[in-house]
Chain A
C-alpha cells in the first residue's frame, strides 16, 4: 500500500510529463507480450512500449521469405495440452485455448504473417496494455533509495516524453543487422533489403556471406534460377540435427548442401570475412580479392591495378566474378539507447551480439533490468532454446516468478505432496512438462524435501544457473536436501562434426542409462543446496555441480518414460536410496500385516492405509501379486502352517523366470531402434 501511495504521489508531482509504472517493457514482440500476460495475470502495474503500430514488427519484415522455421505440429496423438506444447514452437503461454498457434495455421512451417496476426490477437484478446508508436530512444537511471532497486529507470520516447519505472524488462529483440566492413563492402546488398523475387536473380552468379538460416533461406529461394551460388563464412556449417540446437542450419533450408555435395556448381567456403575485399570491374562484375593485396593501394585506382588472387594462383576458388554479393549475417542487440550508467555491455566471444546478463536474466550492470526473449539467449547460446519463442516463453515466466518473489512477496509457486507421491510427481513431469523439455539443461524442476522426508515441495522450471540462490530467489526453504530434475542430451553426442547416426547410438537398458544420448531426464540429488562457489567450480560440460547421487532415466524412442520396469522402477530405487526409505506401494492386506508385526510402517501404508485410504485391490490383482511371490496367500493355509517357506520361494522363482523370458528377445528392438 505504501508503495502504491508513493507511486501515486509521484504521478501527482511529475504531472503529465512523467508517467510512472512499476514495470516497463520495451518491445511488443513475443517476449514482451508474454511477460505482459504474466504481469497482467498477477495484477501488476505495467506498460509495454512498441515502436511500431502493431505487435511483432520484426515478424512483419522477417524472415524475408516469410517461412518460419519453428514447427507447428497439428497432431501428436495426445490430448495433453502441456505435452503438446513440446511440439508447438510458436504459441505463447496463456490460459486461453483460442491462442494456440495450430488454430492459426495448418502449415508445419507457418508463414510469418500468421505470426503477426497471432501476436495481434494475443495482445488484443488478453487486453494487454501496449502503447504503440512509442520508440524508446533513451534509457537512464535516477538514483533513489526508496526505489525497488535503488534507482528508477527513466525512459524517453521519440516525442521526448518521459516514463519512469521501478523495473525495466527489455524485450526489444535483436534487430540491428550485423555488418562487416571491408574494402568494397559498399557493393554488398543486405538481407534486409535484398530482392526476394527469384526472377531478379535469373542467370546471375551470387555470393552469399554468412552461413546461418537466413543465408540458406536466401539461397534456397534463388537456387533454381542462378548460375551458381557460393557461400562464405568463418566457421563450418553447423547442422541442427547434428548439434541439437535449433538455431543452427535447419534441414528445411539446406537444399544448397545437396547441390554442393552433388557437384551442381553451388559451393561452400570457409574464410574470415574481415580478410575479404571486393572490387568491381567495368562491366559491373564483382571480384573477390584479399584485403592485404589492397593495403597501401588506392582502391579507386581501378580494377586493373589491383592484384587478384588468381594472378598468383590460377586455381583460386572464387576466381569467377559475381553479379551480386548478399550479406546474411544475422542480427545484434541495440545497445545504443542505454545510458552508460546502465552498463549494458556486449558479451565476450561468440555472444558479443547479446547484452551481458546473469543466469537469472538480470543485467550484469544494472539491478532491476531484465533482458527477455531473443536478446537473453547468451545464457544458453548454441545449447538450448532460450533464443526462440518455444524456449523464452518459459524463461520469461521464470523471470516473472523471480520478480513476484522479489517485489511482491509472492513465493515461487509450489505444491506440497506426501513422499509417497514423489516418484509419481517426477514421472508426471518428465512425461508432459514442456518447459523442461524445450529449455533442457537450463530450466529445472526442483523438489525440496520437508522434515524427515515425509513430504516434499515441488517447484517447476527454475533457472538452474541460479540454483545457489534458490532460497533467496524463490522464498522457499531448502533445508532438508533437494532433487533437481532436468533433461539432457548425452554429453559427448551432439556437435557439428559428430556422426549422430552411428549404430547403437541409443541405449536401451536402464542400467546403462547414464550413457543415453538423446534427450532424457536426469535427476540430481543434493543433501544441501550447492553454493555459489560449487556452481562456479562445476565440472566442464556439467550443468550442475557434482551431486551426492545422480539418476538418468534411460532415453526413450517415444519420449514416454512410463514403463514400470525400465523407467519407474530404477527411479524409485534411486529415490529410495537417497531418502533411505521404502517407497513401494502395498495392498491394504500387507499394511494390515505390517501394522501387527512391525512397530514402524512403510510410507505408503502410513500415508494411505493408516489414514483409512488403503488400496484394497481387486481379487485378480491380489491373485497376480500372490503369483508374483510379492503377496502371501493365507486363504488356503492349513492350520499346521508349515508351508510358509516353500510357498514363498516357489513364486519368487516363478517371478524371476517370468521376467527372464520377455526381456531377452526384445533386446535388439530396444537397442537399435532405427537400424
Chain B
C-alpha cells in the first residue's frame, strides 16, 4: 500500500512544489518592517501580503503572533508573504494610529487592501490559511447561501465547465482550508462553490447527510445538456483533506470510459495509478453499441471507486473463456487479471466494492504475514525436509534388523552363491531416504519371515563403497534381487512395505511362468496359482503362442523379465495353444487377461513384437477402467497424460454412481480422460486436495474434472445434479465448449528454494582486505612485491607475473617476514647484510 500512495502523492507534491517555488525566492520566515512607510513603499504589484501592525510592546497580540509565525511557511507556498510592521511611537497613521487597527491583520495585494481580519478569526494555521486564501480567491470560490444561488451558478456552468460544491460546517476549519487549497490549484479549471448552510446541503443530497461533517460534491456540469435537470454529482467518500480532494478531482477528470485495444496486462490508467481497480468490459463488434452503453452506465456507478475500460475482443487475442465478459485488474503488482462471466451490472459493482473491502482486510493480514516471514528468515537452520526430519526424530529407535543379513565386501559373493535368490538393499547409513526405506525394509523382513526361498540382506555403501560401485549402485537406496546364474533385477517400484513384499514374493517365480498343459493354463486363468503367486491380487496375464511364433514368444519372455515382480505372467506354447486361444476368440500370438479373480477373461491379439511395445501394452492393459486412485497407483494413470474425471467419496461409492461412472469410462473407445474415484477413508490426503480447491471440504461425493496436464483448471460438477452418464456427458460438453467457469486452478508456482542460504561470499568479502593487511609487510620491507589488494580481489592486470605462482610467492613471503621479525630474539649465525654490528647479536 505505501507504494501505491507514493504513486499518487507525487504529482500533488509536484504541484505544491511548483506553487511554493514561486514564492520561495524571497526570504522565509516572518518579515520585519521597521515602519509602515517602509512597508508600503516596498510592496510589489500583484503580490499578496498579510500585514499586521504593532507597537514594539503589545502583550495582547502575543498568542496570535505565534499562530501567524507558524503559518508563514504555509502561506508562502501560495506566494503570500507575512509581514510584521513596527509602528513607531509617534506614528498616528491609518494602521498604526488607531488602537482598533492594531487588533487586526490586513491583506494586501500590491498596495491595495483586500480584506481586514480581526485577529480572533485567525486562531490557528488552518484558519489563517483558509481565510487568507478565501479572501484572495474571491472570484474562484463562490460563496452561496441559498439553493437558488447554487442553481443559478449550475445553470450558467452547464455545457461549459464542472463545479466543485463544498459544504463546510464552519469557515476557518481544516476542511475549509483543504477546499481553499484545492481551489488554489484547480480554481481555474473547475468552478468552486462553498457554503456553510446546512439547509443547502440537505437540499442537494438524497438522503439525510450529517451536517456536522464537511462534504464535497463534484458536479458534472460540462456534460449536462438538459437545463431542467441538475448536473450529475459524485460525492467524495473520504474525509476532506487536500490529498483526498486532489485524488477525487483527478479521478473525475479522467475519461469516463477508456477504450482500449491492447492486452489488459499492459494497460495502465489513472485509476490503477491511484490504487483503484480497473474493470474491463469485454466487447465484440456485434454488441459494441450496447456494451458501450453498459460501460458508461457502470462507469457512472463506479465513479471514484474504479475505472472502466471498454476492450474490444476483436482487436485483441485473449486467451480466455469465450463467455467471459468482464475482466478485473487490480492495482496490486503481480496479481493476475481475473476474467469473469457476470450477469448484470449490479454484479460488477458489488464485485468492485467487495474487492475493496477484501483488500482492506488483506492489507492488515499482510502486515502480520510479513512479520512472520521475517521470523522465518532466521529459520535457515531448522530442518524443513519432512523425510530428513522424520528420520532424525526416529533415530533413537532401534530397528528390528535381525532378519536381514549384513553383507560386506568379504562375504557378498559367497553369500549370493549359497542361496538361490538374495534380495539386497544397498543404502548409505547417513542418508535419510535410505534410512526411511530401511524402515520399510525391516517391516518387509518381518512380514516375509519364514517365507521360503527369500533371503533379505543389506549392504551399507558408506562401509563398502567399492562393492556398491562394482554392483553399479549409483543412487541410494537401490534394491536388487540376485538369482543364481541370472542377471540381477533392480527394483523400480514404490518404496512401501506392501509394494516391496509383493515384488519380492512375485520375483520368486519365473516371469513368465511356463504352463505345461491346457488344464494348467485354464486353471491359471481361473486363479489357481502356485502358492508363491497367490498373494498377488491383481489381474493375471497369460501369453498364448503357437509353436511357430517364436519371435513373439521371445519378446514376451523378455517383457516378462522387465515386468518381473510387478505382474503375474504365464505363458503357454504347446501344440494345442490354438484351441485354448480360440476359446477366447483370438488366435495366437495372443494375451489372455483374467481380471478380478478370473471372473472375466479378455483376449487380445498380439500384433507388435518389439519388447518395448509389448511392455507398454501390458502395462496399459493392466490399468483399470474405473480405478480407485491411491497414493501408490496415481503415477501410472498420470503417465497417460489425460485429464482426470474424479469422484471424491467419503468411503465406498454407491452402486448407482459406480455403474454410471463405469458407463462413462467405457463409453468412449478412445478415452479422452481418466475416469476414477478417490476414497477419502483410505486416501485421507484427498481432503487436502479438496481444501486446496474449495478451501473447505464440499459436500460429498463430489465429481471433479481436473485438467492436470494442461492449464490446471478444476471444474466441479453441479452438486444439485445427480451423477448420471447423461448429465455428466452434457456437463463435459459445456465444459469443453468453454461455457463453465473453473472453481479453481492448480498453482503454477515454481518450486523455488524454501529459504535462502548463508551468503558466505558476502561474509568473506569484508575480510579480504583485513586478511591482506595482516600478511602485508611493514613499509620499506618488501612492499614492492606486494601490490595493493582490492577488496573484491580484482587487482589490475599489471601484476600478473606475481599471480602466476601465487601460492609460492605468498608462502615465501609469509616465511620471510616473520623470520625477520624474530631477529632480536633468535640467535643468528650470520646476517645477509654484512654489517659489523650484526655480530653483536650472535
Contacts and interface: CB of A to CB of B under 8 A. Distances in A.
- How many B residues are at the interface, by size bracket? 35 or more
B803 A536 contact: yes
Interface stretch (B94-102, B118-126, B432-440): B432-440
A588 interface: yes
A511 B755 CA distance: 14
Interface string A55-86: 00000000000000000000000111110000
Contacts of A193: none
Interface string A537-558: 1111110001101111000000
A485 to B, nearest CB: 15
Given A424-B431, A584-B385, A615-B437, A622 B390 contact: yes
Give the interface centre of A316, A351, A424 by most chain B CB atoms within 10 Å.
A424
A300 interface: no
Interface stretch (A2-10, A21-29, A154-162, A270-278): A270-278
A370 B676 CA distance: 67
B731 interface: no
A508 B443 CA distance: 37
Contacts of A569: 381, 383, 385, 388
A603 B793 CA distance: 36
B570 interface: no
Nearest to B802: A540
Interface stretch (A328-336, A632-640, A665-673): A632-640
B795 to A, nearest CB: 7
B623 to A, nearest CB: 13
Give the interface centre of B466, B751, B815, B842 by most chain A CB atoms within 10 Å.
B751
B803 A538 contact: yes
Contacts of A549: 757, 759, 761
Contacts of A272: 830-832
A551 B757 contact: yes
Interface in B191-241: none
Given A424-B475, A576-B754, A588 B700 contact: no
Given A272-B830, A617-B436, A496 B812 contact: no
Interface in B169-206: none
Contacts of B565: none
B751 A564 contact: no
Give the interface centre of A312, A595, A596, A620 by most chain B CB atoms within 10 Å.
A596
Contact of B708 (A580, A588, A595): A595
A552 B767 CA distance: 15
B793 A600 contact: no
Interface in B800-827: 800, 803-812, 814-816, 818-819, 821-822, 826-827
A642 B440 contact: no
Contact of A617 (B440, B754, B797, B821): B440
B384 interface: yes
B638 A610 contact: yes
A568 interface: yes
B390 A624 contact: yes
Interface string A422-444: 00100110011000000000000
Interface stretch (B29-37, B491-499, B521-529, B603-611): B491-499
A270 B632 contact: no
Interface stretch (A12-20, A37-45, A230-238, A397-405): A230-238
Given A232-B829, A540-B789, A616 B494 contact: yes
A246 interface: no
Contact of A79 (B464, B757, B759, B794): B464
B748 A600 contact: yes
Contacts of A135: none
B390 A78 contact: no
B753 A383 contact: no
23 contacts: A79-B409, A270-B819, A271-B828, A275-B834, A315-B842, A317-B827, A415-B474, A495-B814, A497-B818, A511-B381, A514-B763, A538-B793, A540-B810, A564-B432, A570-B381, A586-B386, A600-B750, A601-B751, A610-B638, A614-B631, A617-B436, A618-B436, A637-B697
Interface in A593-618: 593, 595-603, 609-618
Interface string A616-654: 111011101101101111110101111010000000000
A432 B496 CA distance: 30
B379 interface: yes
Contacts of B495: 588, 613-617
Interface string B756-783: 1111110110001001101100000000
A381 interface: yes
Interface stretch (B413-421, B586-594, B682-690): B682-690
Contacts of A313: 839-840, 842
A609 B638 CA distance: 11
Interface in B399-448: 408-409, 428, 430-433, 436-437, 439-440, 443
A235 B828 CA distance: 10
Contacts of A513: 758, 760
